Amino acid sequence: MEYKRKKQLTTSLISMNHVERAVVKVIGYSEEMKVESLVSKDGTYPMVYRVINLETGEESKILAGTVMRGVFEDYKDELLGKCFEINAMPKMEGKKYLPLQIWEIDEPGDDE
């Protein structure tokens, strides 16, 4: 017997330390993730943003460290509804952070 799903009650967490690529649409803000092992040199914590994983269609959260958080903060009030392809690059020797390539992309189905 098949059941109709009504509402997703749990969300997965996307961490670029564990995936090579994420394609997401930002749908909401969250708060800083206060985990001491994740604090940057300047004392900022990563942010967690609510997103739609465009490859699965599921609502998720994405952990935005220093690099991604900086890019997202540049969008200010225009971030919600934007879509991004995020690629993890090989870690550079002697660096703690993970280099990322971040592209703003059209939402699938947009014919502009």
pLDDT for position 36: 62
Residue 85: band (very low, low, confident or very high) from pLDDT cuts 50, 70, 90: very high
Kindly report the pTM of this predicted structure: 0.81
> What gap in Å lies between CA 19 and CA 21, rounded to an integer?
6
Reported CATH class of domain 12-105: mainly beta
Residue 13: band (very low, low, confident or very high) from pLDDT cuts 50, 70, 90: confident
27-53 pLDDT, tens digit per residue, is: 998 776 666 666 677 777 788 899 999
- Which of 83-108 are b and which e, b meaning 16 or more Cβ less than 10 Å from the residue's Cβ? bbebebeeeeeeeeebebebeebeee
Among 33, 110, 97, 30, smallest CA distance to 67 is for 97
